[in-house]
Amino acid sequence: DTGVSQDPRHKITKRGQNVTFRCDPISEHNRLYWYRQTLGQGPEFLTYFQNEAQLEKSRLLSDRFSAERPKGSFSTLEIQRTEQGDSAMYLCASSLLAGSEQYFGPGTRLTVT
Amino acid sequence: AQSVTQPDIHITVSEGASLELRCNYSYGATPYLFWYVQSPGQGLQLLLKYFSGDTLVQGIKGFEAEFKRSQSSFNLRKPSVHWSDAAEYFCAVGAGQTGANNLFFGTGTRLTVIP
């Protein structure tokens, strides 16, 4: 069990650029979640997948955000036309089943300049 | 709507002293409750969870938490704090039919441990 991994760990980009983050869940986990954490706050739910199906999206996930999990394994989160307000830590988590505990990755810290 | 309140933004305790971190939740159904710990620059590590059954749950690193439905609380405790416990602690409630489709987190309590 290698845990949840995320890549990159840090990303600095200029406003208006597109960025893509990757998450590799624990291998046998069916559910994958994305959260966003800003400074001094707890993580906020963005979206989750059951295998390759995206089952729920938060209102925080604007049209500039898109997430995929094409083969039910790794997932990508893309942010188009980044804004300074997108600067945050993006956390990925996975769980074996619905209702079981979520295991978090180390996060990707995005800084938009 | 689901929500979690952690009233204490920052707590300082001496090493060896006891610790209690407060958490109050708002949720219409039976809650799934969690405590996570986050060290600087790290992801979140699960300390313990409550789904059902015994209201006093034991976790890792010597932590425990008690679910009190009448008070809508799930406070985290440790009898003797170690310097390595210094971190940010988050309480969370699970939403959805199976209780953990997504988690709602509190704003966290930062724990400082002094020698």
C-alpha A104/C-alpha A43 separation (Å) is 11
Q: Residue B85 has what DSSP assignment?
A: G
Which one is predicted more confidently, B1 or A75? A75
Mutate to test the interface with A, among B24, B93, B103 (most CBs of A within 10 A): B103
- What are the DSSP calls for A7-52, one per residue? E-SEEEE-TT--EEEEEE--TT--EEEEEEE-TTS--EEEEEEETT
**What is the nearest CA distance from B81 to chain A, expressed in angstroms?**
23
Q: What is the pLDDT of residues A29-57, one digit of tens each?
A: 999 999 999 988 999 999 999 999 998 88
Q: Among partner residues B32, B41, B105, which is closest to A43 by beta-carbon distance?
A: B105
Any A CB within 8 A of B104 CB:
yes
Which one is predicted more confidently, B96 or B99? B96
Give residue B97's pLDDT band: very low, low, confident or very high (50, 70, 90).
Answer: low
Q: Using DSSP bridges, classify how beta strands A10-13 and A5-7 pair: parallel, antiparallel or unpaired.
A: unpaired
Torsion of CA A102, B69, B62, B89, to 10 degrees: 60
Per-residue pLDDT, A59: 85
CB contact under 8 A, B105 and A58: no
Per-residue pLDDT, B113: 97
C-alpha B21/C-alpha B23 separation (Å) is 7
Residues of chain A with pLDDT under 70: 1, 98-99
| Phi/psi-derived region of residue A101, left when phi > 0, alpha when psi is between -120 and 50, beta in every other case | beta
Per-residue pLDDT, B98: 55
Per-residue pLDDT, A1: 55
Average of per-residue pLDDT across B74-103: 87
Partners of residue B104 in chain A, C-beta under 8 Å:
45
Any A CB within 8 A of B49 CB:
yes
Q: Which residue of B has its CA nearest to A107?
A: B43
CB contact under 8 A, B44 and A58: no
Q: Residue A64 has what DSSP assignment?
A: T
First to last CA, chain A: 36
Q: What is the pLDDT of residues B5-55, one digit of tens each?
A: 999 999 999 999 999 999 999 987 778 899 999 998 778 999 999 988 889
CB contact under 8 A, A106 and B104: no
The angle at the Cα of B43, spanning B64 to A21, to the nearest 5 degrees, equals 150
Mean pLDDT for chain B overall:
91
Tell me the residue type at A47. Answer: T
